[in-house]
Amino acid sequence: MNRTVVITGTTSGFGRDSVRLFASQGWNVVATVRKETDLALHNDLPNVKTLLLDVNDEGADAAFAEQAAARFGSIDALVNNAGYYHMGPVEAASMEQIHDQFQTNVFGLMALTKAFLPHFRKQRSGVIVNISSISADQGYPYTAVYAASKAAVAAFSEGLNVEMADFGVSVKAVFPGAHATRIFTKIDQAGDIPEDYQSGMQRFFSMQGTGSSPAVTAKAIYQAVTDGKIEKVRYYTGPDGVAVPRVKQLLGADWYWEEFRNASTGNPSDLWKSLVTQGKEPVEFAL
């Protein structure tokens, strides 16, 4: 019997590539989209059923979990991919934007996870994969709210991993680095940014590259679901996603922070340049 995965946020990027990867490996896939106009997005894949879901609608989650399970008889994995990206100085962010960032990336994710936990607990198996970010390991300027939401996802995943261990359920987090996905074209930018911030923002974002293909992270998601390592929580992906924890381990947290802060304020040391440069191509330390 084919296994079944639920993947949220599948119109583009990690979500869409994950749908296609799992389907190509013989999995049944329940893919979610927010708009009715996107319901036909995966029609070329016979083992994919596309359902409407707004992850911010917490009241709909229990019914959705039952609906998803009914499609193929059971659920073996849940991939919480849906999210969005708020950017700008904290001073310029509205509290509505801050609440919206946490509602989608944290509270919506938690609510949907809660809806599936009884299914996994009763069947004594299952994998939950939450999409965090490399910025959860190291807060980045001008994306502090986004990074904080992804740090919450990381901590939630680690705690729940232990909590569900007695039931054979594994909870994991994927930490992508910079990737060329549409999330960066759907930025919720802070408004009325004071001119004082412009030079710092330009300096920091000029350090970033376009990133690697979302297919790289889709492969990491598939690995997290299928590798059988119930105790493993963290999966890093992308050149910068892999590099950041290694450099932090090499330098130690305090020294790493000093180097990162100096580089982000326009004063990178020779050591930092050597650590983040491979040949002539920089390793992208990004979101």
Tell me the three-class secondary structure of the chain, residue by residue.
CCCEEEECCCCCHHHHHHHHHHHHCCCEEEEEECCHHHCCCCCCCCCEEEEECCCCCHHHHHHHHHHHHHHHCCCCEEEECCCCCEECCHHHCCHHHHHHHHHHHHHHHHHHHHHHHHHHHHHCCEEEEEECCHHHCCCCCCCHHHHHHHHHHHHHHHHHHHHCHHHCEEEEEEEECCECCHHHHCCEECCCCCHHHHHHHHHHHHCCCCCECHHHHHHHHHHHHHCCCCCCCEEEECHHHHHHHHHHHHHCHHHHHHHHHHHHCCCCCHHHHHHCEECCEECCCCC
The four Cα atoms 270, 271, 272, 276 give a dihedral, to 10 degrees, of 100
Stretch 170-175: mean pLDDT:
97
Confidence of residue 179 (pLDDT cuts 50, 70, 90): low
Q: Tokens 């074209």 correspond to what residue?
A: 185
Q: Report phi then psi at 186, rounded to 5.
A: -120, 40
Mean pLDDT of 87-111: 95
99 pLDDT higher than 70: yes
Between 202 and 5, the higher pLDDT residue: 5
CA angle, 149 as apex, 147 and 199 as ends, to 5°? 30
- Give mean pLDDT, residues 43-60: 96
What rounded mean pLDDT belongs to the chain? Answer: 88
Residues 6+ away with beta carbon under 8 Å from 280: none
pLDDT at 249 (0 to 100) = 87
Q: Is the pLDDT of residue 14 over 80?
A: yes
Whether the pLDDT of residue 162 is over 90: the answer is yes
Catalytic residue among 85, 140, 142, 146: 146
More confident residue, 204 or 64: 64
- pLDDT at 275 (0 to 100): 66
Distance of CA 212 to the CA centre of its chain: 15
Please check the confidence at residue 278 and state whether its pLDDT lies above 70.
no
pLDDT value of residue 210: 55
Mean of pLDDT values over 205-224: 82
As a whole number, mean pLDDT of residues 88-97 equals 93
199 is catalytic: no
| Confidence (pTM) | 0.89
Residue with tokens 């059971």: 74
Residues 229-269: tens digit of each pLDDT = 999 999 999 877 888 888 888 899 899 889 888 888 888 88
Q: Give the pLDDT score at 121.
A: 98
pLDDT band at residue 48 under the 50/70/90 scheme: very high
pLDDT 10s digits, 105-152: 999 999 999 999 999 999 999 999 999 999 999 888 999 999 999 999
pLDDT of residue 181: 46
The one catalytic residue in 150, 157, 170, 236 is 150
Q: Domains (ranges, CATH) in the chain? A: 4-238 (3.40.50.720)
pLDDT band at 76 (very low <50, low <70, confident <90, very high): very high
Per-residue model confidence (pLDDT) at position 243: 80
In this predicted structure, what is the pLDDT of residue 260? Answer: 85
pLDDT on residue 226: 98
Q: Which of 18, 132, 149, 212 is catalytic?
A: 132
Residue 282: per-residue pLDDT: 35
Bridge partners, residue 87, by sequence: 189
Q: What span, in angstroms and rounded, lies between the C-alpha atoms of 259 and 233? A: 27
Residue 153: per-residue pLDDT? 98
